[in-house]
Every structure is written in structure tokens, then in C-alpha cells.
Amino acid sequence: MSKKWGVRGILLYILFGLLMFAYLFYWADHTIPESLRGSVADPSTFMTERELVLSEEYSKIRYLLSLLSTPYEWLFYLLVLVTGASLLMEKSAEKISKYHAVQSAVYVFYLSILSFIAIFPFQYLSHRFSVEYGISNQTFSAWMKDEMLDFWLGFLTTFIIVAAIYWLMKKSPKRWWLYAWLFFVPYATFFVFIQPIVIDPLYNDFMSLQDKELEKEILQLADQADIPAEHVYQVNMSEETNAMNAYVNGIGASSRIVLWDTTLQQLSKDEILVIMAHEMAHYVKKHLYFGLAGYLGLSLVGLWILSKLVKRWGEQYKDTLKISGWNRLSSLPLLFALLSFMLFAASPISNAVSRYSEASADQYALELTKDPDAAISTFQKLTKAGLSQVQPPLLIKWFYYTHPTMLERLIMIQDFRTSEN
């Protein structure tokens, strides 16, 4: 039975891959409506013919890798289970130490190594294509350095969570999900707090905005929005990418408004102010706090559902999945696969909520700056720099877009400009 599950999983994945390839390269419609031809949302009005071709090629490749990577993760976890690899790793961890924390660390390390090796081809292809299409200029050695940093940070955080969850599973088989959530709330909040000041600087150099005149204007804009901002930060990203970005992260005293140096290099002052106004909207409208609260609320429901599924599947398919028990370390791939599937299934809803927040931030930025022309040129330049499609396929929008499409954003700005005139 285990072998059949593995073979079926592989065949289903191949079939899914062929369907997604056909969808992206032959079936999906990404053309803009005829009524918008020649408008500010028409990429042919602000992109060269070469850029349009590259955008279509790169988008299809990037979307295909994204669509294939998630079910590939599920297949990986299935094969780790049905081949008995998970049970072997558990037994090895138990031989090394009798202490639960050490066993958890050893098992998570084994699984992390296997996962890194299995997923590396997708990671490498994504990096390689971004370099070939001029999005990234990061060298392979610099990219591998970041990958190694990701590995060790991932291992550390996963070990802490896994050790806590499986200890709770044994101590309270019926209510472990509730206690895990109570542990997760301060853990997640603490992680959001320390990310801007501890985690992010491990990858890039952050500093106060060097253009003091620009910083003064940004702070004046913040004052108009009643934001108690004292500094704007810039981060050195030009050694890695040609794309542009700006963001707000952290909570409370760790909150930061950050600009990529590529954004500073490629946008005008007025365009940068539009982006800053957008990021300030997240602060004014408390999107970070609402997002964290919503995430914690959904995680409570998710953990409850996960507890039911992992127990039921772990008991019903114990022999097929080759695990020693639903609340033993060998069941971790099952737990991860179920969690990944649940997150993927919920992504259309969570992405829709995120797109709504981002659209409201766009609207706020327009109302604050009163400069729709700068907003239009900003999003057009962002589209060119990232070789993005203004109208992505519907499945891509549902499952991967946390922001409105460029078509939607440019239409909204055009409507705002029309209403103002």
C-alpha cells in the first residue's frame, strides 16, 4: 500500500504539472480588455516590444515554478513517510539521546537537510531565471550565503516550534492545539517585533536615509498623516536585484519604514513620496496590527482543524505512512503536509483580504499626495523593473497575489485623476 501511495503521488504530480504548463502557456488569458487599449494601464504604452516579450516569458516561467513548488512539497513529505525515511530518522534521534529536546533537534535537522536537497532545484531555477532576465544581479556565492542563512534560521525556528508542539501532544493529546496556540501568540508577536532589528540586518545593510532633503519631505508627509516617525531607512539591495520595493514592518518601537536603494535610484522624488504615502497608510490604518490579529485568530482555528486531521490520518493510515504514532516525531511530515495544504487552500481568502488592504493604501496615498500622475508613473516603472504582467492569469491572482494587479491599480489611479479633474 505504501508503494502504491508513492507511485500515485508521483503520477498525480506529473499530471498536475502538465495541466499547469498547458494552462499558463496555452489556456490562460492575460490580455487586457479592448476598452483599455492605449490607456495608462496598457503595457504597450510604457514598455518596449522587447520588454513585453521578456515580461511574458519571465512571468510564465515564474508562475509555473510557483504552481509546481507547493504540490512538490506535499509529494516530498509523502515520499519521506511512505519510504520509511521518517521512521528511520525518528529511531536515529532516539538512539542519540533520551531527551525530547535533543531528539527534536536531531530529527528536525535530518528533515531540514532532506527538504533543502529536495527543494533546491526549484530555488536554484528561480534564482537562475531571475538573473537571466535581469531581475537579479546576485552572484551564486552571495545567493548561496542567503540560502544557508535561511536554512539555519529555518532550522532554529522549526526546532523550537516542533519541540514545543510534540511535547504538548504527549502531555495533552486532546488539547495540545490550544496550548500550542497560546505558545504561538507571544512567539509570533516577538518574532514580528525582532525581525526588523535582528533578522533583516543579517541579510542586508540598513541605514538612515542618506538623502536628508528627501527624508525631510517624507517626514513632513508623515506629519500630515499624524505618524510619529523620526527616521526613514534605506537598505542596500542593488547588489542583489534591479527590482524596486518599499515596506513597513515591525510593531511598536521596532516599526520601520524601509526603502530599497534601487527604489531611490530609479524613481523621482514625487514617485518615492507616493510609495511612502502608501506605506504610511498601513500604519495609519493599523494594517500590521489587524493582520497580526487576523493571523493569530485564523491560526487558532487552523490548529484545531490540524489536530483533528493529523490524529485521524495518523491513526487510520499509521502502517501505510510508516509512523510510530500520530503524536510521535515520525508524523511530522504528515503534519507539515496537512498544514501546507490548509494554507494553500486558504490563500485565495487571505490574499483577497490582503489585496483589499493594499487597495485602501493606494487610495490613501492618492488622497494624501494628490499626485495621480506620479502614482501612474510609479506603478508603470515597477511593472517594467519587475517584468510583471499587468493582468496575470486568474489562478495566479487567486493563489499568489497579495496586492491588486497592476491593471487594477492603474485603473483606480486613472479613475481618481478623472474624478479630481
Q: State phi, psi for 256 to the nearest 5 degrees.
A: -140, 140
Q: Is 287 annotated as a binding residue?
A: no
Q: Which helix (H) or strand (E) holds 362?
A: helix 332-369
Q: Which one from 73, 362, 371, 408 is the annotated catalytic residue?
A: 362
Residue 362 annotated to the active site = yes
Least Cα distance to 231 among 201, 195, 207 occurs for 207
47 CB-near residues (< 8 Å, 6+ apart)? 55, 383, 384
- The residue annotated as part of the active site, out of 279, 408, 415, 420, is 279
Q: Are strands 246-249 and 233-235 parallel, antiparallel or unpaired?
A: unpaired
Q: Is the dihedral of CA 120, 384, 366, 207 positive or negative?
A: positive
Q: Which three cell numbers stand for residue 344?
A: 494553500
Task: Please name the residue ranges forming H helices in 133-211.
Answer: 140-171, 176-194
Task: For the sheet with 256-260, list strands across it.
Answer: 206-208, 233-235, 256-260, 246-249
Compute the distance between CA of residue 74 and CA of residue 328 in angstroms, rounded to an integer.
Answer: 19
Q: Is 200 assigned a catalytic role?
A: no
Q: How far apart are CA 164 and CA 38, in angstroms?
A: 57
Is 217 among the annotated ligand-binding positions? no
> What is the enclosing helix (H) or strand (E) of 276?
helix 269-284
Q: How far is CA 138 from the centre of its chain?
A: 20
Concatenated DSSP letters for 89-105?
A: HHHHHHHH-SSHHHHHH
From CA 283, how far away is CA 255, in angstroms rounded?
A: 9
Q: How far apart are CA 409 and CA 30, in angstroms?
A: 16
CB 147 within 8 A of CB 317: no
**Listed residue (376, 398, 178) closest to 275, CA to CA:** 376
Show the cell assigned to 96. 542519540
Q: How far apart are CA 356 and CA 370, in angstroms?
A: 21
C-beta neighbour count of 139 within 10 angstroms: 12
56 is in an annotated binding site: no
Q: Return phi, psi of residue 390, to 5°.
A: -70, -25
**Which three three-digit cell numbers place residue 197?**
532589528
- Tell me the CA end-to-end span of the chain in Å, nearest whole number: 69
Binding residues for Zn(2+): 278, 282, 358
Binding residues: 278, 282, 358
Q: Just list the catalytic residues.
A: 279, 362
